[in-house]
Structure 1
Amino acid sequence: MDPNAKILVVDDEERIRRLIRMYLEREEFEVEEAEDGNEALEKALNNDYDAILLDIMMPEMDGIEVCEELRKEKATPVIMLTAKGEESNRVQGFEVGADDYIVKPFSPREVVLRVKAILRRVTSSSYNKENTAAKNMLVYPHITIDHDAYRVTADGVEVNLTPKEYELLCFLAKSPDKVFNREHLLKEVWQYEFFGDLRTVDTHVKRLREKLNNVSNEAAKMIVTVWGVGYKFEVDED
């Protein structure tokens, strides 16, 4: 994990931004701020951040809209900040590509731990690229997942995935041809239960297929819908 990772903190309350900033800077993160959605989106598109802490409820453009627009261009990890009881908004956040969420009121130390966790998943080994003989790989006819480098290639071309898209692909690929229902995928990949709201899984599968298809149609076809049940990672033995 990069000790000088660059974090964008987005909230319309200056008090919250300053509090988060103080705790992140204690850990030697580089922190920038945005006070509304429009400013956040402009900064996120024009700069390369290692993670974005994004409040959902903001005037002008809310966090859901920001994340949705951002995902059209970038896979920057996004942690949503939500008020207690806004479960429907959290579900929306996951649907548009958020990777995690934190409920207000929160402990600043929890924020630091969540940021560190998501950065570990994304960048822990990307700074050790001399270890190219990756020991931790999944290799299939059209898709290769290199866990050590946190990299997915489809027919030799790298595919830019968000952390949750990567985790979903890895989970399915670790058990080829095994069918998983949506409830199981929610529990294992997102580690949250939405009491039957399964759109999050469908949206991420759709986005994952689209990204793979942009590179390799054969790779995209490996993510198979089993109608009435769920999804599987299908490996053609031919």
Structure 2
Amino acid sequence: MDKQTVLVVDDDRDIVSAIARLLNDEGISVLKAYDGLEALDVIATRQVDLLVIDVMMPRLDGLSALMRIRQNNNIPVIVLSAKSEDTDKILGLSMGADDYITKPYNPLELIARVKANLRRYLTLGSAAASSPAKSVITVGGLELDKETKSITADGRKSTLTATEYKILELLMENAGRVFSAEEIYQRVWREDAYAVENTVMVHIRHIREKIEIDPKEPRYLKVVWGVGYKIEKR
């Protein structure tokens, strides 16, 4: 496998250098940027497998940059911020982030989250390559193509982030089965689940906005109150 490349974006150059050293020690290549505009330039011209981006930066902040990136790019994004309130985390996830780490960060946690998100992103569709006959999952008007990692909902193409894709893939492969937020988190993030309801809920809401004609009256992605989520079997 080619060396993986992570773009680290923060206006604090010491933080960028520290994260770069951590990732270099793990055999991961690092590109650097110091505000949102520089990050957009790098992504437009270089191969980037994952983005670690700060929120508060000059010229263009991290969340504004994330919104622009999500217009045509589904690379995993980890938001790095000094703010720890749940509302800030939910805002970052709502704008398309796959993960959120609060400063001051634990270096081992940062490395683990980077590796987990890279693994999900870079191995999507690997199972489909070994069994092409099962590369497309169809549930009613939903069609998920594992080979191209694309989703079509009632004839409309939708672009999902890597995390959203894995959640939807899990639910579609098990249509009719209800998964709790903890089960979804453990299977998709491959980490122990603790107080993960808000994180999963935000991703579910994003998926609904992309696959449902009316997200407020979903036909496919249903919530079973007090239990979890499921794709309605059709």
Bin for the TM-score computed over the shorter chain: 0.7 to 0.9
**Structure 1 residues 144, 162: CA separation in 2 closer, same or farther (over 3 Å shift)?**
same
For structure 1, list consecutive stretches of 5 or more residues without a partner in the other structure.
Answer: 214-220
3-state secondary structure, aligned to 1:154: strand
Checking the alignment, whether the CA contact within 8 Å between 1:7 and 1:50 is kept in structure 2 is yes
Give 1:226 deviation, angstroms. 6.4
**Structure 1 residues 28, 42: CA separation in 2 closer, same or farther (over 3 Å shift)?**
same
> Could you tell me how far apart the structure 2 residues matched to 1:95 and 1:33 are?
25
TM-score (structure 1 length as normaliser): 0.73
1:161 paired residue number: 160
2:108 paired residue number: 109
Checking the alignment, whether the CA contact within 8 Å between 1:3 and 1:29 is kept in structure 2 is no
Checking the alignment, whether the CA contact within 8 Å between 1:138 and 1:145 is kept in structure 2 is yes
3-state secondary structure, aligned to 2:130: coil
> Could you tell me how far apart the structure 1 residues matched to 2:62 and 2:168 are?
25
> Could you tell me how far apart the structure 2 residues matched to 1:168 and 1:125 are?
12
For structure 2, list consecutive stretches of 5 or more residues without a partner in the other structure.
Answer: none
Give 1:130 deviation, angstroms. 5.7
Give 1:105 deviation, angstroms. 1.2
**Structure 1 residues 173, 101: CA separation in 2 closer, same or farther (over 3 Å shift)?**
same
> Is residue 2:71 matched to residue 1:69?
no
**Structure 1 residues 195, 207: CA separation in 2 closer, same or farther (over 3 Å shift)?**
closer
3-state secondary structure, aligned to 1:54: strand
2:207 is matched with which residue: 193, 205, 208?
205
3-state secondary structure, aligned to 2:27: coil
Give 1:170 deviation, angstroms. 2.2
Measured on the aligned residues, the alpha-carbon RMSD in Å equals 3.7
TM-score (structure 2 length as normaliser): 0.74
Give 1:146 deviation, angstroms. 6.0
Q: Percent identity?
A: 32
Checking the alignment, whether the CA contact within 8 Å between 1:95 and 1:204 is kept in structure 2 is yes
> Could you tell me how far apart the structure 2 residues matched to 1:200 and 1:117 are?
19
Letter in 2 for 1:188: I
3-state secondary structure, aligned to 1:32: strand
Give 1:179 deviation, angstroms. 6.1
Give 1:35 deviation, angstroms. 0.4
> Could you tell me how far apart the structure 1 residues matched to 2:64 and 2:231 are?
31
3-state secondary structure, aligned to 1:97: coil
Q: Which stretch shows the higher mean deviation, 170-179 or 32-41?
A: 170-179
**Structure 1 residues 192, 64: CA separation in 2 closer, same or farther (over 3 Å shift)?**
farther
Checking the alignment, whether the CA contact within 8 Å between 1:80 and 1:100 is kept in structure 2 is yes
Give 1:124 deviation, angstroms. 2.6
> Is residue 2:190 matched to residue 1:188?
no
> Could you tell me how far apart the structure 2 residues matched to 1:162 and 1:198 are?
14
3-state secondary structure, aligned to 1:28: coil
**Structure 1 residues 196, 169: CA separation in 2 closer, same or farther (over 3 Å shift)?**
closer
1:234 paired residue number: 232
> Is residue 2:11 matched to residue 1:9?
no
Give 1:60 deviation, angstroms. 2.7
**Structure 1 residues 24, 145: CA separation in 2 closer, same or farther (over 3 Å shift)?**
same
> Could you tell me how far apart the structure 2 residues matched to 1:192 and 1:67 are?
26
3-state secondary structure, aligned to 1:58: coil
**Structure 1 residues 150, 223: CA separation in 2 closer, same or farther (over 3 Å shift)?**
same
2:46 paired residue number: 47
Letter in 1 for 2:66: C
Give 1:113 deviation, angstroms. 1.8
> Could you tell me how far apart the structure 2 residues matched to 1:5 and 1:85 are?
29
Letter in 2 for 1:223: Y
Give 1:205 deviation, angstroms. 2.5
Give 1:150 deviation, angstroms. 7.7
Deviations 1:141-181 (A, max 9, x none): 5545466x58345399986421221123124324424567x
Give 1:132 deviation, angstroms. 4.5
